[in-house]
Amino acid sequence: MTLKKLKHLIEQTVEEEIREGGFSGTYTIRQHDRYPRFDGCIDTQTLSDISLGYNPTYEEDNPGNTAKVVRDLTRHEENHRGRKGYHGCPRNLEFHVKKIIEPISSVLAEKGFSQADFHYSANAFEDTVLHLDLSHGFSLDGIIDAYVDSGKSSKFTQFMEAHLRLNALLWGNKRQKAKLRLYFTDKVEDRSKIIDVLKNFLSKTGLSKMKKERDRKGMRDYLNNEENWPSVAKIYAEEFSKLMAPGYAMPLFNHSGKGTNRNLVPQVPEDGNKFDREMNTREYKKQRINEAYKSNQKTPAWMNSFEALDLLYQSLAERLNINVSSFTRQSQSPVFHYGSRPFDPEIDNLRHTKLGFNEIGKVELKKKPHYETEPLEEKILPRGFPEFRFLLLDTSGSMASNPDNGIEVGNKLNIPWGDNSKYHYQLLAWYGLLRYLKENNLLKQTGISLGAFASSTIVKHGLEESKKLALNPTFGNSTNIDLDSIKNIFKDQNMLLGTISDGIIDNWSDIKEDFLKGAKRHNYFHIQIGNPTEMSNDVEKAGLFVGKIKNARDIAQTAVNITDSIYRGGIK
């Protein structure tokens, strides 16, 4: 068959399946030269775009078979969403993450596996469920042939063999099982290990009983019920992880299988499952960590703990009252022009002109002299804003307690130090300041530094490094400010500097003179939580601003308000 005829046949086949499957989106068919020779994926953001790939060399080795494989791959991709007349798996992004990825990741994370391993295992599980669903109406010979082609090009790993054996047990016929068996391991020890995993999985899920009774409908109904997915997926991870080792991941249709090695955290491959790529967007991660926080659930194991904390604090800072009106001015913007008069080249430009007729019927250029306007808010950038912003946070032991200095510090599932600790409110102040700068187009990656002081003083420069310091605090037994650590901060002038503390600075008398001298060169403020101290009194006597708050819960809004006052003309 010529390449042109093969391409035409494949297009006809896919078009027919798309129509019969009730798929209302679009599809693309790609020709490539890769091995394995077939792949496919579906756009999970809208569930409206299927992409299929094939290598035409397969047709040379298997005349007349390419269209059959592509046909079943089309059904496979449709049934990720739910082909007409079928249930599908995972159906949508929420089910993919909450009912499959998260149960699997809760098991694999404790065993030291990576995020790529979570995704690969979830994809294999979902393929098993949707194949059993499709087997109700289709033989899926094309799916088996695609697996066989993969086995010819690369020896199956233990995990992959278990995946194929499970599929064959659930929905395969004798002929299909025989085809796959040719590429299974002949090592007794490996085969025994694989079979034990399958027996345990089937037994723990209750599928073994239905299998013995040849109740394929019962198995389909059980696995098609999304309420069963979390428990089944968790058992799947517990058992199949026994077969997972570096390099275990072989290509699946909608997941490349590249780079899935233990203790590595690679990015989701570009040609991988789009459910995975969608869940790894910043927007979805932010939504998911907020849901977990609000419902008092653990941070999902598939999320990086640092990134989850960062996104959560960004979200919490969005609730603060941020003032951006100071940096706008109102002007009038023309909405439309109207009217007509002869164009005067001495005073008119060519804007808002048109062709028209004069009094004697000749064509001439006309000007629209009138217009209607509407108010327009225009963002302006104040001049002289500090380019450098530095906040020095108190990380002494008392900041790990609640505002009443007690031990009940609130939610520690998502926020390790608790969302009712003084350190939490201090962090919220810093994130509020970052949001203030961002809202006013003033946030620069290199213009941010952060310090933490307790038994020692640590300073980090740049937004990313500052966040790492903020979100990995070490609470000390004493409260000292090491001037040598911050002396470079004081070198310039007119920068934005701030300190926050809830008690006495142990070495204040030693650093007082040099500290105040340096602070006076800048737009400096100090927030004192609770009763005044020697430091707060001295700062105030020196003519510098002290924000006095009784409750640590007020730190965040106070810091934002102080920053706004500085930027609008200074604090007194």
- Mean pLDDT over 231-252 rounds to 92
pLDDT digits (tens, 9 = 90+) for 124-165: 999 999 999 999 999 999 999 999 999 998 899 999 999 999
pLDDT digits (tens, 9 = 90+) for 303-317: 999 999 999 999 999
Q: Which DSSP helix (H) or strand (E) runs through 480?
A: none
List the domain boundaries for the chain.
Answer: 3-271, 285-317, 326-379, 389-567
The residue that leads in pLDDT, 175 or 51, is 175
Q: What token pair was written down for 160? A: 């992959």
Spelled out in words, what is the top-level CATH class assigned to the domain 389-567? Answer: alpha beta
- Mean pLDDT over 336-351 rounds to 69
Share of the chain above pLDDT 90, in %: 65
Q: What token pair was written down for 390? A: 């530095």
Sign of the alpha-carbon torsion through 53, 57, 61, 64:
positive
Distance in angstroms (rounded) separating the CA atoms of residues 184 and 246: 19
Are residues 256 and 239 in contact, defined by beta-carbon separation less than 8 angstroms? Answer: no
Name the 3-class secondary structure at 501: strand
pLDDT digits (tens, 9 = 90+) for 202-219: 999 999 999 999 999 999
Distance in angstroms (rounded) separating the CA atoms of residues 303 and 281: 11
Distance in angstroms (rounded) separating the CA atoms of residues 215 and 112: 37
Closest CA to 303 of 139, 500, 98, 492: 98
Q: Which DSSP helix (H) or strand (E) runs through 364?
A: strand 363-367
pTM for this prediction? 0.72
Q: How confident is the model at residue 365 (pLDDT cuts 50, 70, 90)?
A: confident
- 475 phi and psi angles, rounded to 5 deg: -85, 125
Distance in angstroms (rounded) separating the CA atoms of residues 449 and 389: 6
Question: 375: buried, middle or exposed (CB in 10 Å: 19+, 13-18, 0-12)?
Answer: exposed
Q: What token pair was written down for 95? A: 């089910």
Contacts 24+ apart (CB under 8 A), 218-227: 219/132, 219/170, 220/132, 220/133, 220/135, 220/136, 223/89, 223/128, 223/129, 223/132, 223/133, 224/87, 224/89, 224/129, 224/133, 226/90, 226/91, 226/95, 226/99
Q: What is the mean pLDDT of the chain?
A: 87
Q: Which letter does DSSP use for residue 255 in this model?
A: B
Distance in angstroms (rounded) separating the CA atoms of residues 357 and 363: 4
Distance in angstroms (rounded) separating the CA atoms of residues 508 and 521: 19
